[in-house]
Amino acid sequence: MRDDFFSGGLRGLGRRVTDRVWRLGFASRFLLAILMYSGMALRRFGLTIREIYFTGVLSLIIILVSGLFVGMVLGLQGYDTLQRYGSSEALGILVALSLVRELGPVVAALLFASRAGSAITAEIGLMKATEQLSAMEMMAVDPIARVVAPRFWAGVISMPMLAALFSALGVFGGYLVGVQLIGVDEGSFWSQMQASVDFREDIVNGVIKSAVFGVIISWIAVFEGYDCEPTAEGVSGATTRTVVTSSLAILAADFILTALMFRGA
Amino acid sequence: MNRATLDLWVGFFVAIGLAALLFLALKVGNLASSNVGETYQLQAEFDNIGGLKIRAPVKSAGVVVGRVSDIRFDPESYRAVVTMKMDARYKFPRDTILTINTSGILGEQYVGVEVGGDTAMLKDGDMVKKTQSAVVLEKLISQFMFNKAQDDSKK
């Protein structure tokens, strides 16, 4: 009896581990398949443009508004701390660097995962549940090329744009609060910012980060949708998994990328 | 939604995305100001560079005339060798003195150029002979304390 209990638990653990590894392997093979079949997504670019509309353009409002508010909060908090050391002119540096390096790519990616990633998963999952994907296969249309690849590329293209918009609006928000509301000197706000934000080191690295996040989110979202159980519960579970997994993956990847990029000169 | 409206929206999205990148590059970053014009290299040895960093500005009369491109330690003279990229528009006399200054009390450190009176100018790859080290606050304070103690004991 005891033996059964232990070996049963052990077997369950083993099955769960092999299940995870199996899914990871399937996901990698799936990514490879997307890349191989993305010819159609690029040739018939209209398909991808349609998806950019749904993932990118419709995420604009949430990205712009949150960027503005995050920048305004940074302006208030940064000023509160910096003025203790009598260096409130450095507010521009603080706002710009924290947005361009970290908050822009990461927060935009988290918002994008919950706004667009979940929608992609739900859409593909529902297509699978209603057997639209099988119907396509019957008509000799590859669902990976027709449905999955355009959504994947749309996410990869939209994400850097959204992150750049987030950062730009955030800097503007910091400017509104810092300069217009509190009264930090406008000249030193911008000039100190320009003196310490480097194009190659900070801005390009931020764009690279957001592009990597775009790949991660789109990959997880299309995979969860394609792999979900074709039931109502399966689709809802897959949508939840998309948001949770991609949020965790974004934060972990952010740490790795930051460690590689900013090791401190 | 028809095709034309879709394209319009996506075009708008891509346009403002690129505009945001341009804003970050030009207004937030220093792409406009750090344009790589013609430069020439100068080297200088310092006893102590304090907190000088790579990419710190080189200023003469408060105007940025170059940037620090490399800092290394010379194991033979036990001094710091600082390499600077200077704007080719500005030439300096051979007896110019380089100092390491701090902008403000807590500000960043930069290399100051005190122009000399020699008629010969520094060329690409030259070594600046006369340098003045960074002021280390602890040394200054300990010197002050030491002198104070000496003064007190004399009385």
B100 neighbors B111 (Cβ within 8 angstroms): yes
A144 neighbors A41 (Cβ within 8 angstroms): no
- Is pTM beyond 0.90? Reply is no
pLDDT for the residue B105 = 65
What is the residue-wise DSSP string for B16-39? HHHHHHHHIIIIISSTTTT----E
CB pairs under 8 A between A and B: 87
Start-end of H helices in A56-103: 60-82, 91-97
Give the number of other CB atoms < 10 A from CB of residue A114: 19
pLDDT in tens, B13-68: 989 999 998 888 888 776 655 555 788 899 998 888 887 887 788 888 888 888 88
**List of residues 6+ apart from A121 with CB closer than 8 A:** A221, A222, A224, A225, A228, A235, A238, A239, A241, A242
CB contact under 8 A, A199 and B7: no
Strand B79-87 to B39-46 pairing: antiparallel
Q: How far apart are the first and last CA of chain A?
A: 62
CB contact under 8 A, B18 and A193: no
Give the number of other CB atoms < 10 A from CB of residue A24: 10
Mean pLDDT of A144-163: 92
Q: What are phi and psi of A9, to 5 degrees?
A: -65, -40
pLDDT in tens, A69-78: 999 999 999 9
* Residue B146 forms contact with A (CB below 8 Å): no
**More confident site: A4 or A34:** A34
Report how far residue B92's alpha carbon sits from residue B73's, in angstroms, rounded to the nearest whole number.
25
Q: Show the tokens assigned to A90.
A: 């450095």
Average pLDDT of chain A, as a whole number: 89
- The CA distance from A56 to the nearest CA of chain B, in Å, is 7
Average pLDDT of chain B, as a whole number: 83
CB contact under 8 A, B17 and A160: yes
A79 neighbors A178 (Cβ within 8 angstroms): yes
A207 neighbors A163 (Cβ within 8 angstroms): yes
